[in-house]
């Protein structure tokens, strides 16, 4: 686990709002999966969240955060945002829509503010970890501080396995 030195857009947003956070990098580790990221930064995978961007039947976009060991339950997600259905957007659509690439997508600092839902399991922890806005970077933040940047709701959206 290494404290991060370089600033990403997410970190600049947090700094501009004077929000305290911890940042970590795993640039030279070769890890790919969220579970590996949790291991490399020395954190419980239940506290490390991946950011997923979807499109509803209405063509509106939504952002969901779920623990890295779990998958998004598309039916629960759709119900939570009042859609008939939601589906994951294609990787190539991510950058033009959010300003982020696959593997570096963060709920903070997207081009537009999308309705955001975080799995309710996040409320069990003082802080959670999620992408710092660039592959190889993670930030740690409390939900109350995250809410100062991105309005969100908590809901049961992860698949039960």
pLDDT above 90 as % of the chain? 78
Residue 35's pLDDT band (cuts 50, 70, 90) = confident
Cα distances (Å, whole numbers) of residue 61 to 77, 106, 149, 158: 12, 15, 18, 18
Is-contact 4 132, C-beta < 8 A?
yes
pLDDT of residue 41: 85
Mean pLDDT of all residues in the chain? Answer: 92
Q: Which residues of 129-147 are buried (b: 16+ CB within 10 A; e: fewer)?
A: bbbbbbbbbbbbbbeeebe
pLDDT of residue 150: 97
Residue 161's pLDDT band (cuts 50, 70, 90) = low
Domains of the chain and CATH, by start: 2-155 (3.90.960.10)
Is-contact 134 20, C-beta < 8 A?
no
Residue 81 has pLDDT above 90, yes or no: yes
Distance CA 142, CA 123 (A): 9
Which residues are bridge partners to 139 per DSSP? 23, 130
Distance CA 44, CA 83 (A): 32
Residue 4's pLDDT band (cuts 50, 70, 90) = very low
Which are the contacts of 61, defined by CB distance < 8 A and separation ≥ 6?
A: 53, 54, 55, 89, 97, 112, 114
Residue-wise pLDDT for 105-140, tens only, equals: 999 999 999 999 999 999 999 999 999 999 889 999
Residue 31 has pLDDT above 70, yes or no: no
pLDDT of residue 36: 81
């Amino acid at each position: 686990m290494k404290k991060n030195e370089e600033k990403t857009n997410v970190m600049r947003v947090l700094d501009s709002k004077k929000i305290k956070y911890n940042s970590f990098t795993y640039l030279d580790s070769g890890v790919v999966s969220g579970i590996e990221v949790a291991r490399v930064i020395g954190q419980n995978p239940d506290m490390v969240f991946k950011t997923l961007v979807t499109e509803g039947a209405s063509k509106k976009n939504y952002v969901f955060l779920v623990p890295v060991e779990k998958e998004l339950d598309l039916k629960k997600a759709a119900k939570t945002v009042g859609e008939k259905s939601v589906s994951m957007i294609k990787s190539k659509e991510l950058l033009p829509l959010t300003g982020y690439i696959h593997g570096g997508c963060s709920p903070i600092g997207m081009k537009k503010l999308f309705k955001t839902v975080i799995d309710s399991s996040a409320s069990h922890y003082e802080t959670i970890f999620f992408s710092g806005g660039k592959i190889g970077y993670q930030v740690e933040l409390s939900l109350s501080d995250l809410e100062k940047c991105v309005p969100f709701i908590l809901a049961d959206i992860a698949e039960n396995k």
